[in-house]
């Protein structure tokens, strides 16, 4: 009888631990939380790594190269297992990028890719009414996720992302 109680206790603890485990969020889910949290979101386009080539959400290698590479898709993409991007289609710097890497050891390389993109946008919007967006923007690493947050309220966006991850 004592062995049965111990077994039931161990099983109860295991069930509790399993129920507390959170399934890894997709880049699309994190991106959706960021978009939903943004106040005054400009018109834009969403791109997802899971989108087929004939879908509007498909990000072509040429566009990826223009955004994050120097004429070629960046090598860091080989480290990424899932991504989602929101790009403003207006002359507005609001932009979100969510990259989930294969291994946590790859986050620094993907973060460097995002910082390069942010530097380009800071130069582009330097003397405009939107300079504060890029100056307050952040590249953040949370576990296996690398986020580029260019938002009206970067801290609010970060809280939204953390709530999903």
Give the number of other CB atoms < 10 A from CB of residue 60.
11
Q: Is the pLDDT of residue 7 over 70?
A: no
User: How many whole angstroms separate alpha carbon 46 and alpha carbon 7?
Assistant: 50
Average pLDDT value for the chain: 89
pLDDT in tens, 93-127: 999 999 999 999 999 999 999 999 999 999 999 99
For 15-34, the pLDDT digits (tens) are 444 444 457 999 999 999 99
Residue 26 CA: distances (Å) to CA of 3, 4, 106, 109:
42, 40, 17, 20
What is the pTM (predicted TM-score) of this model? 0.85
**Residue at token pair 């405009």:** 128
Pairing status of strand 145-150 against strand 138-142: antiparallel
Q: Which residues neighbour 79 within 8 Å (Cβ) at sequence distance 6 or greater?
A: 101, 102, 103, 106, 109, 110
Phi, psi of 97 (to 5 degrees): -135, 135
For residue 23, what pLDDT is reported?
A: 72
The count of other CB atoms within 10 Å of the CB of residue 149 is 26
Residue pair 31/98 in contact (Cβ under 8 Å)? The answer is yes
For the chain, the structural domain boundaries read: 23-164
Above pLDDT 70, what percent of the chain?
A: 87
- pLDDT of 70: 86
Structure tokens at 137: 């923007």
């Amino acid at each position: 009888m004592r062995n049965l109680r111990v077994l039931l206790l161990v099983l109860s603890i295991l069930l509790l631990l399993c129920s507390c485990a959170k399934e890894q969020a997709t880049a699309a889910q994190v991106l959706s939380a960021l978009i939903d949290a943004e106040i005054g979101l400009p018109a834009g386009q969403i791109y997802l790594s899971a989108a087929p080539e004939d879908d509007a959400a498909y990000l072509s290698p040429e566009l990826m190269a223009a955004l994050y590479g120097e004429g070629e898709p960046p090598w860091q993409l080989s480290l990424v297992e899932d991504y989602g991007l929101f790009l403003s289609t207006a002359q507005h710097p609001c932009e979100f990028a969510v990259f989930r890497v294969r291994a946590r050891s790859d986050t620094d390389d993907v973060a460097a890719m995002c910082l390069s993109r942010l530097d380009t946008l800071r130069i582009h919007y330097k003397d405009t009414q939107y300079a504060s967006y890029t100056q307050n923007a952040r590249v953040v690493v949370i576990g296996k996720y690398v986020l580029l947050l260019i938002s009206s309220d970067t801290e609010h966006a970060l809280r939204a992302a953390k709530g999903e991850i």
